[in-house]
Amino acid sequence: MKRLVSLVLSLALVLSLCAFAQADDLPTITIMFHGSNVSDDSVVLEKVNEYIADKVGAKLEVIWGTWGDFDDKATNALLSGDSDVDMIFTCSWSADEFNKYAKDGYFYELDELVDAYGAELKAAIPEALMTAATVVGPDGEKHIYAVNGFKDTATQIAWDVNVTLLNELGYTLDDVKNLGFFGWGEIFAKAKEVKGDAFYPFLVEPMVAERAVTNTIIVTGDSGNVNLLSYYMNPDDLTQPTEKYGNVMLNKFATEEYKAFAETMRAYYVAGYIDPALAVAETSNDTRTNAQKEANYLIGTQSYAYGYEYSAEVTSRGIEVAYLPCTDPYVDTTVSQGAMIAISSASEHPEESFKFLNLLNSDPTLMTLLNYGVEGVQYNLTEDGLVDFYGEDNELLPGRSAYQPWTNGMGNVTILPDTKSEGAGFRKAFQEFYASGKAIPVLGFIFDSSEVETEMGALANVAAQYALALDCGAVDPETELPKFLSALDAAGMQKYLDAANEQVKAFLGE
């Protein structure tokens, strides 16, 4: 019977024997991407490794993180000091706090590597992107901690208008513009009258609507689930602060602008212009996405990206859609840290990793290969030299359907060739559009919450209780807003605000 025990043990042992070692001279560098939909990378990686063997002196392996898994995988890899992950996607939104990880020492300082091997990189991407990736490290000094992706470098919120329905109701885009958010009641009433009681004309992402109406930004480093801080932009001149508030961080929910917004939303909600499901966190997104797909709305919100109106998602709605921007495109810290690749400080091959990132961001051949795949497998070239992922039967090529990385998460997208669906000249127009983005006064400001983390946790929970319902009008601001504000005060809002404003002052004083 002891044999049985030893059998169990040896079986467990055999099972745990990991993959055989690779007999290769070149070191392996591993990169973890976000948002991939890749099930077969063999052909591409073979070509990539052929191409980079001499140029980088390493062999590349890729961990294709997906949208849903990346945060957990990345957090785990970074916190555990995993030396098997050399390069990792990072950004300032979602839960991938670039600034926090940099400050806590998880990323490798790239300053010397950029000087030694980064000439091509510096030439390929704008100086501003390098600056955005230069943040405070564990030593309290600023260093470059990531290779910043050159992609949509400005941001803009827009109202998404169902023009087809609008015209049917006897209104024009100009009416929507002129009446403004506070005056849309009459259009909504008309829509309700025509389309029936079960129709909800105002399809908002409530927190985006709040920023759209008040012209405020997401402050980088603020509590993530529900933002607590507001910085008011000056829509007349985005590069200047507002006269009313100046360069100050405000309690998002304590301004009169917020109160006016919440009251109007309440009026719209009570009148039945807003779907109640939008006011519940977990049903909000599904409801909005579904109604959008069905073109079942009149006015909605959209964080706009260039070319969005031509994307399949919008064209498949079968209606004419127009985007009314709330401001000109602007550049804030969050968007300037939108998609980057950092090198882990646990990496054993930082030099090779940087050489690879340098090449990836400056060499169109490598970028195209890793992003679009191999010609003839993942795509074909049209006569005009456009990349076409579709076969003659108008179906996605099998190679492509098994290999779809997230383009914007990889690096410098401006060196990619145009695709057939985007049309010739798209990349150039894209670049021009984003070059027009205006830098707001607090561009580069990063709120460091480490001293008020306990307060932030408590405030996040208070905000989770009230903010969405108020933003959506599901509860009455007359009674709930004062309750919310006093709950915030009890949870330490003033201390949080003071910390933020002290840091803003220090930032602007530099």
Partner 1 sequence: MQTSARKKIKGTTASLNRFGPGAQALFHVLLGLFALLCIIPFVFVIIISFTSEESIRQIGYSFHPLSWSTQAYTYTFQLGDQLWRSYANSFLITIIGTVLSVLMCFLYAYPLFRKDYGYRNFFNFLSFFTMIFGGGLVPTFVICKSVLGLSDNYAALIVPMLFSPFNIIIMRTFFQTSVPTELIEAATIDGSGEYGTLFRIVFPIVTPGIATVALLVALGYWNEWFLSLLYINKNMNIIPLQYLLMRMQRNADFLAKNSGMIGADASRAATQLPSQTLKMALVVFIVVPIACAYPFFQRYVVSGLTIGSVKG
Partner 2 sequence: MSIGEKSRHGSMQGARRKKNLVLTTMVLPGAIWLLLIRYLPMFGIVLAFKNYKAQRPNTFWNNIIKSEWVGLKNFQFLKSPDTAIMIRNTLGYNILWIALGLVIAVAFAVMMSELSNRFLAKTYQTLMFFPYFLSWVVASYFVLAFLDPTSGMIPALQKRAGIPVTNFYHDTTWWPLILTICNLWKNIGYSSVLYLAAITGIDTTQYEAAAVDGATKWQQIWHVTLPNIRTMIVILLIMNVGKIFNADFGLFYNVPQNSGSLLPVTQVVDTYVYRAYANTHNMGMSSAAGFLQSAVGLVCIVGANAIVRKVDPESSLF
Q: Which of 27, 51, 61, 189 touches partner 1 (CB under 8 A)? A: 61
Applying CB under 8 A, does 395 fall inside the site for partner 1? Answer: no
- Chain centroid to Cα 231, Å, comes to 19
Q: How far is CA 102 from the centre of its chain?
A: 18
Number of continuous H segments (helices) and E segments (strands) in the chain:
22, 19
- Interface segment toward partner 1; rule CB under 8 A; list 58-66, 101-109, 182-190, 459-467: 58-66
Q: Which does 68 bind (CB under 5 to 8 A by kind): partner 2, partner 1, none?
A: partner 1
248, 256 in Cβ contact below 8 A? no
Question: In whole angstroms, what is the distance from residue 171 CA to residue 163 CA?
Answer: 9
- Interactions with partner 2, residue window 487-506 (CB under 8 A): 487, 490-491
Cα 84 from chain centroid?
Answer: 26
Contact pick of 308, 323, 433, 507 for partner 1 (by CB under 8 A): 308
Cα–Cα separations (whole angstroms), residue 303 to 294, 338, 368:
19, 13, 27
Site for partner 1 in 438-477 (CB under 8 A): none
Tokens of 3: 């044999």
Collapsed DSSP state (helix, strand, coil) of residue 9: helix
Among partner 1, partner 2, none, what does residue 465 contact (CB within 5–8 Å per kind)?
partner 2
CB of 345 to partner 1, least distance (A): 16
**Residue 474 interface partner, choices partner 1, partner 2, none, CB cut-off 5-8 Å depending on type:** partner 2
**Site map for partner 2, 306-325, x if CB under 8 A?**
--------------------
What distance separates the 2 farthest-apart alpha carbons in the chain? Answer: 87
Binding mask 194-233 for partner 2 (x = CB under 8 A): ----x------------------------xxx--------
126 scored as a contact of partner 2 (CB under 8 A): no
Q: Does 381 bind partner 2 (CB under 8 A)?
A: no
Q: What does the block give as tokens for 507? A: 């930032």
DSSP string for residues in 221-284: TS-SSS--EE-BB-TT-TTSB-TTT-S--EETTSSHHHHHHHHHHHHHHHTT-S-GGGGSHHHH
Interaction partner, residue 294 (partner 1, partner 2, none; CB < 5-8 Å by kind): partner 1
Residue numbers of the site for partner 2 (CB under 8 A)? 2, 5, 8-9, 12, 75, 78-81, 83, 95, 97, 100, 104-106, 138, 198, 223-225, 275-277, 279-283, 344-346, 449, 453-454, 456-458, 460-462, 464-469, 474-475, 487, 490-491
